[in-house]
Amino acid sequence: MKFTEFLKSKGAIGSIFMGVFYAVCMLGIFLPGYTAIPGNIDQLPIAIINDDVGESGAQITESLVEQLPFENIKTNISNKAALKNLEDNELALVIHIPETFSADLRNSDVSSSIDFTLNEAGATVVSSSMTQVVSQINEQLSGQFSQQTAQGIVMNFNVPEDQAKEMAELIENSYVGNVVKINDIPDGMHNNMLPMFLTMSLYVGAMIAAMQLVGAFKVNRGRATKTRLFIYVQLTAILIGVIAGLASAGIAFGINDLSGDLFFQIWGQQILNYWVCFNFTAIVVFLIGEAGMILNIPILLVQTIANGATISRDMMYAPYKWASHITPMYYSVQAYFANIFGSTSVSPYLLGLALVGIVAMLINVVIVWILHKPLPVVDSRESAKV
Q: What would the pLDDT profile of 354-382 be if each residue is shown by its tens digit? A: 999 999 999 999 999 998 777 777 665 54
Sheet arrangement for strand 46-50: 73-74, 46-50, 93-97, 112-119, 175-182
Per-residue model confidence as pLDDT tens digits over 4-58: 888 888 888 888 888 898 889 989 998 999 898 888 899 999 999 999 988 888 8
CA dist list (Å): 255 to 137, 223, 252: 37, 45, 5
Better-predicted residue by pLDDT, 102 or 119 = 119
Q: Which of 67, 71, 52, 42 is nearest to 141 (CA)?
A: 67
pLDDT, position 214: 93
Residue 149 confidence (pLDDT) above 70? no
Bridge partners (DSSP) of residue 177 are: 114
Better-predicted residue by pLDDT, 303 or 187 = 303
Residue 164 confidence (pLDDT) above 70? no
Return the amino acid letter for 54. Answer: G
pLDDT, position 161: 59
pLDDT, position 171: 47
Supply the mean pLDDT for the chain: 86
DSSP state of 112: E
| Most confident of the ranges 53-57, 139-143, 163-167, 229-233 | 229-233
The average pLDDT across 90-102 equals 91
Task: Give the separation between CA 39 and CA 33, rounded to whole angstroms.
Answer: 11
Task: Give the separation between CA 290 and CA 284, rounded to whole angstroms.
Answer: 9
194-219 helix and 292-306 helix, angle to the nearest 10 degrees: 160
Lowest mean pLDDT among 5-9, 73-77, 158-162, 213-217: 158-162
Task: Give the separation between CA 270 and CA 233, rounded to whole angstroms.
Answer: 18
The average pLDDT across 323-338 equals 96
**What length does the chain have?**
386
Cβ–Cβ < 8 Å for 327, 273: no
Residue 38: cis peptide before it, omega within 30 degrees of 0: yes
The average pLDDT across 329-353 equals 94
pLDDT, position 113: 84
Per-residue model confidence as pLDDT tens digits over 208-257: 999 999 999 998 888 888 899 999 999 999 999 999 999 999 999 999 98
Residue 124 confidence (pLDDT) above 80? yes
Residue 264, Cβ density class (10 Å: 0-12 exposed, 13-18 middle, ≥19 buried)? exposed
CA dist list (Å): 349 to 40, 212, 339: 24, 29, 10
Lowest mean pLDDT among 53-67, 103-117, 220-234: 103-117
Lowest mean pLDDT among 53-62, 118-127, 147-156, 270-279: 147-156
pLDDT, position 259: 85
The average pLDDT across 341-365 equals 94
pLDDT, position 138: 84
Residue 325 banded pLDDT, cuts 50, 70, 90: very high
What radius of gyration do the chain's Cα atoms show?
29
Contact partners, residue 356, CB within 8 Å, separation at least 6:
276, 280, 326, 327, 328, 331
DSSP string across 118-153: EE-SS-HHHHHHHHHHHHHHHHHHHHHHHHHHHHHH
DSSP run (H or E) holding 115: strand 112-119
pLDDT, position 165: 56
Lowest mean pLDDT among 65-69, 231-235, 283-287, 351-355: 65-69
End-to-end CA distance of the chain: 43
Residue 386 confidence (pLDDT) above 50? no
CA dist list (Å): 351 to 248, 269, 294, 342, 345: 22, 11, 29, 17, 11
| Most confident of the ranges 54-68, 119-133, 181-195, 276-290 | 276-290
DSSP run (H or E) holding 269: helix 263-288
pLDDT, position 153: 45
Cβ–Cβ < 8 Å for 185, 191: yes
CA atoms within 13 A on the CB side of 178: 12
DSSP state of 48: E
Residue 152 confidence (pLDDT) above 90? no
Residue 109 confidence (pLDDT) above 70? no
